[in-house]
């Protein structure tokens, strides 16, 4: 029984996380199958009717152009589904209450010091998602915010 619960939990988790990618992959495979079946049907028609023998080469060309167009469309759709799931630190709404404007002049490290360090783990401030935290003069937790809001007089 536990095996069935684990299996269904895994399948539901994968479905929820990769629903867009799975559906786009299934649609892509179905479209490729449809193009192949239409082309095979055309070749069978040409063989039985003895007509259109001159268009066989162009039918293969059209089939491969359709394959390439479907593949390009699939890559575009697949990448757009993959990009929508990525969420950077800028989009996290709960971090907005911690973002108190402060002077960036009172930091423990100067930006010049950070730029002068040459190491495998140093990044520029544009690439570092925690640079705004390092530049703050005082870090505040959620408890600090609650205490400060309690200390302010209520009107």
| Predicted confidence (pLDDT) per residue in 87-113, tens digit | 555 555 555 555 554 444 444 444 555
For 97, half-sphere exposure in the C-beta direction (CA atoms, 13 angstrom radius) is 10
The reported pLDDT for the residue numbered 103 is 47
The residue that leads in pLDDT, 128 or 143, is: 143
25-54 tens-digit pLDDT: 999 999 999 999 999 999 999 989 888 788
* Other CB atoms within 10 Å distance of the CB of residue 34: 12
**Residues counted in the chain:** 155
pTM score: 0.50
* Other CB atoms within 10 Å distance of the CB of residue 145: 13
Q: How far apart are CA 104 and CA 84, in angstroms?
A: 32
């Amino acid at each position: 029984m536990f095996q069935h619960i684990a299996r269904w939990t895994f399948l539901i988790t994968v479905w929820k996380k990769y629903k867009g990618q799975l559906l786009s992959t299934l649609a892509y495979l179905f479209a490729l199958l449809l193009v192949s079946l239409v082309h095979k049907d055309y070749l069978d028609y040409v063989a039985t009717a003895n007509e259109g023998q001159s268009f066989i080469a162009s039918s293969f060309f059209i089939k491969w152009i359709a394959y390439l167009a479907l593949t390009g469309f699939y890559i575009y759709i697949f990448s757009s589904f993959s990009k929508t799931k990525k969420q950077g630190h800028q989009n996290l709404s709960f971090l907005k209450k911690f973002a108190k404007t402060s002077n960036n002049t009172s930091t423990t490290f100067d930006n010049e010091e950070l730029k002068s360090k040459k190491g495998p783990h140093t990044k520029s401030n544009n690439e570092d998602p925690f640079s705004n935290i390092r530049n703050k003069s005082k870090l505040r937790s959620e408890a600090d915010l609650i205490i400060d809001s309690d200390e302010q007089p209520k009107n």
